[in-house]
Amino acid sequence: GAGVSQSPSNKVTEKGKDVELRCDPISGHTALYWYRQSLGQGLEFLIYFQGNSAPDKSGLPSDRFSAERTGGSVSTLTIQRTQQEDSAVYLCASSLQGAVSSYEQYFGPGTRLTVT
Partner 1 sequence: AQKVTQAQTEISVVEKEDVTLDCVYETRDTTYYLFWYKQPPSGELVFLIRRNSFDEQNEISGRYSWNFQKSTSSFNFTITASQVVDSAVYFCALSENEKRQLTFGSGTQLTVLP
Residues of this chain that interact with partner 1 (CB under 8 A) are 31, 33, 35, 42-43, 45, 48, 50, 56, 59, 89, 91, 93, 97, 100-110
Complex with partner 1: residue 14 or 58, whichever CB lies closer: 58
Residue 42 CA to its chain's centroid (Å): 15
Minimum distance of partner 1 from residue 16's CB (angstroms): 27
Identify the CA nearest to 75 among candidates 108, 37, 32, 19. 32
Complex with partner 1: residue 50 or 80, whichever CB lies closer: 50
Complex with partner 1: residue 14 or 52, whichever CB lies closer: 52
Minimum distance of partner 1 from residue 96's CB (angstroms): 11
Minimum distance of partner 1 from residue 107's CB (angstroms): 4
Complex with partner 1: residue 54 or 100, whichever CB lies closer: 100
Q: CA angle 53-59-112, nearest 5°?
A: 105
- Tell me how far apart the 2 most distant CA atoms of the chain are, in Å: 44
Minimum distance of partner 1 from residue 116's CB (angstroms): 21
